[in-house]
Each structure stands twice: as structure tokens, then as C-alpha cells.
Amino acid sequence: MLSSLLSSVVAMILSSVVMGLGWVLAKRTVSDREKSSPFECGFDPIKSARLPFSLRFFLLAIIFLIFDVEIVLLFPVLVSMFSMLSLKTVIGAFLFLVILIVGLFHEWNEGSLDWAQ
């Protein structure tokens, strides 16, 4: 009981000292409106937050998100290929990659990947 109370007191004192040192030694910078603004995605922080959002940028971001998720889905296939190589795994990985490549070419032909238009 006494050791847990002592360790709790020591932990509170140590955390207070560390937080105090962080506050004392922190670099103080002049805060202006742009640096304290919550907008971090290319908007002008001085103007209104209700400006129309670029639909093209949104669609391109969604496409990259979908392809990133599909790439993450390929990692278990690689692990299973190293542990046990079976025909099912190879055919499944090949079909998955074919679907990915067909989707990529479709987006390319549709013009969704061309940013400068």
C-alpha cells in the first residue's frame, strides 16, 4: 500500500516537473491569424470557410484512397505466398491484380487522373 502510494506521488511530481520544463523551455512564437487557423488543406484562411470545394480534387482523393486500400489487401496474399504456395492463392492474386489494372486503365481513359484540364 505504501509503495503504491509512494510511486503514485513520485509519478505525479515527475510528470509535473516534465510539463513545467516543457512550458518554460518552449519556444515562444508570435501567433498570427494564419498560423492559428484550423484550415490545412489549401484554403485561404482569411476568407470564408464556405467556399465551393473542388469536386475534381475530391474524386482524385477518393480514387487514391481506394487504390491504397486495395494495395493493403495485397499484403496477406504476399504472406500466404511465402508460407504456402498454392494454385488458389496465385490465381486469386492474379485476378485481383487484373481487376486493379483494368480499373486503373478505366480511370485513366475516363480522364479522372488528369489533374490539369
- What is the grid cell recorded at 78? 504476399
pLDDT at 64: 83
Domain ranges, ordered by start, for the chain: 2-110
Q: Which of 27, 29, 47, 30 is nearest to 39 (CA)?
A: 47
Which letter does DSSP use for residue 39 in this model? Answer: -
How far apart are the C-alpha atoms of 87 and 16, rounded to whole Å?
Answer: 60
pLDDT tens for residues 37-93?
665 565 555 666 666 767 777 777 888 888 888 888 888 887 877 787 788 888 888
Residues in the chain: 117
Residue 31 pLDDT > 60, yes or no? Answer: yes
Give CA–CA dist 68/80, Å, rounded: 20
Helix 55-83 to helix 87-110 angle (10° resolution) is 160
Q: Which pLDDT score, from 0 to 100, does residue 84 have? A: 79
Q: CA angle 88-92-98, nearest 5°?
A: 150
